A and B are shown apart, each in its own frame.
Chain A
Amino acid sequence: MKKVFESPKSLTKDPFTYCPGCHHGIAHRLVAEALDEFGVREKTIGVCPVGCSVFAYVFFNCDMICAAHGRAPAVATGIKRAKPDSIVFTYQGDGDLASIGTAEIVHTANRGENITVIFINNAIYGMTGGQMAPTTLVGQVTQTSPYGRDPKTMGYPIKVAEMLSTLKGVAYISRVALSKPAYILKAKKAIRKAFQTQIEGKGFSLVEVLSTCPTNWGLSPIEANKWLEENMIPYYPLGEFKTPEEVS
């Protein structure tokens, strides 16, 4: 009997500190598996954000740096330019990337920096207790939108993947979900492609990962998966928005 599935070597043995059912653990595993499969763990430098995944440096078994809130793409730019041979990725949530870090991500993408960004979109602020994020859906109830998000005063949810795919410097952008095994397999392919883009030196790559936050959504993990499929996927369609062939 052969072992066909085990924890990747790019993850440490430390148990995750995330809530039960949180998709961060799946996203961590997919990134770690990609690093293992490309054999680049020894030369990889990750940048973790501020948010629930701030402790990613404990879980990833590669060099990690923790950036100030939202500044992970700027820090990653510096690392990649100082050490062009290393593989650099950032792992950011929606509060980090789409709110306080909007300037950094847009300009890093526009400069076409050869880094990979893993963007976790769960439509809410997780660590701070469930406040409204820029990606919160219209009508969604959060701590700071108790009557549901009203676009008249709070604007519309930002579609980060679509927005960044209009920039010329971007090489690869896709959006995936983690709510069922079929989507997880597709997510793994997308994350592999993003790292492949970087390894081949084609430019900026980003994977937006739709994930759940059962604790702050007030749902069980199974109900949260259902909510994601019924509410988030219609607004945030899955798929590839830009592939390296389009880069001129």
Chain B
Amino acid sequence: MAKIIIDQERCKGCELCTSACPKHIIIMSEYFNAKGYHTAKQIKPEECTGCAFCALTCPDVAIEVYK
């Protein structure tokens, strides 16, 4: 079981993590953060393998990975 935590206030909605995720379980949310960006969110957390590709590609170091 692995999980990721996306810091909603650091996320700038660049969508790079959505394209890096091999399971395609990161999508853009409807939520706006304080800076006005649509942030990334994880769906189907049970499918996460903890590969950390999302965290590697995140230019804002907004993702933490637990495994």
Contact = CB atoms under 8 A, between A and B. Distances in A.
Interface of A: 1-7, 11, 15-16, 18-26, 29, 180-181, 184-185, 214, 220-222, 225
Given A3-B64, A21-B14, A180 B20 contact: yes
Contacts of A181: 20, 53, 56-57
Interface in B5-54: 9-10, 12-16, 19-20, 37, 50, 52-53
A7 B55 CA distance: 10
Given A5-B52, A181-B53, A222-B16, A21 B59 contact: yes
Contact of B37 (A3, A4, A20, A220): A20
Contacts of B12: 19-21
Nearest to A13: B10
A6 B19 CA distance: 20
A222 B52 contact: no
B26 to A, nearest CB: 13
B2 to A, nearest CB: 8
Given A22-B59, A184-B57, A6 B10 contact: no
